[in-house]
C-alpha cells in the first residue's frame, strides 16, 4: 500500500502488532474485543452461522490464506438531508426564504438530524420520514396551485 500511495502511511510493525494482539484474543473465550464478541454472538443464530458470519479464526494462521491489501475509496451512501426546508417542505434559499414551486421530500429534505425516528434511526427506518415529507410536500404544492 505504501508503494501504491508513494508514502509511508502504513507502518508494517504496527499492523503486525495489532493483528497478533487480535489473534491472541481468538483463544480467549472471555475476550473484551468487541468484534470477536459480535462474531461469536452472531454465530449463535443458526442462519448467520451457516451462511453469513465466518467462523472466528486467526488472521495470521497460514491455513486462512495470504493477507492482501485493498485500497478503498470512501464514498457517502447517504447525506441525511441537505436542502433546508420549512414545515411545508418548501426548499429555502440561503436567506431562509422559500423558493417558489420547489419542494423537497425524503432524505434530501433535511431530516437527517433525527427526523420522525430520532437520532439513532437505522437504515430502513427512513421510510416513515419519506412518506411524511412526501405527503407534506404534495399537500403544500396542491394548496399553492389552488
- 80 belongs to a structural domain: no
- 45 belongs to a structural domain: yes
Q: Are residues 9 and 46 in the same domain?
A: yes
pLDDT at 142 over 90: yes
- 84 belongs to a structural domain: no
Average pLDDT, the chain: 83
Range of the domain at 24: 2-64
Ramachandran sector of residue 75 (left: φ over 0; alpha: ψ -120 to 50; beta: rest): beta
pLDDT at 25 over 70: yes
Q: Are residues 8 and 43 in the same domain?
A: yes
pLDDT at 3 over 70: yes
41 falls in which pLDDT band (50, 70, 90)?
confident
- 85 belongs to a structural domain: no
Range in 10-24, 27-41, 73-87 with the lowest mean pLDDT: 73-87
Separation between Cα atoms, residue 112 and residue 104, nearest integer Å: 13
On whether the pTM is more than 0.75, the answer is no
- 77 belongs to a structural domain: no
- In which residue are the cell numbers 430502513 written? 124
Instruction: Count CB atoms within 10 A of the CB of residue 115.
Output: 21
Number of domains the chain is built from? 2
Amino acid at each position: 500500500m505504501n508503494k501504491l500511495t508513494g508514502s509511508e502511511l502504513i507502518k508494517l510493525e504496527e499492523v503486525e502488532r495489532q493483528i497478533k494482539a487480535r489473534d491472541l484474543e481468538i483463544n480467549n473465550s472471555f475476550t473484551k474485543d468487541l468484534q470477536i464478541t459480535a462474531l461469536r454472538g452472531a454465530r449463535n443464530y443458526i442462519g448467520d452461522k451457516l451462511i453469513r458470519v465466518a467462523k472466528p479464526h486467526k488472521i495470521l494462521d497460514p491455513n486462512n490464506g495470504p493477507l492482501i491489501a485493498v485500497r478503498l475509496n470512501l464514498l457517502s451512501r447517504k447525506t441525511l438531508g441537505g436542502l433546508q426546508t420549512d414545515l411545508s417542505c418548501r426548499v429555502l434559499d440561503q436567506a431562509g426564504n422559500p423558493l417558489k414551486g420547489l419542494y423537497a421530500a425524503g432524505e434530501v429534505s433535511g431530516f437527517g438530524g433525527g427526523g420522525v425516528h430520532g437520532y439513532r434511526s437505522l437504515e430502513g427506518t427512513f421510510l416513515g420520514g419519506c412518506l411524511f415529507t412526501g405527503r407534506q410536500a404534495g399537500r403544500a404544492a396542491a394548496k399553492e396551485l389552488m
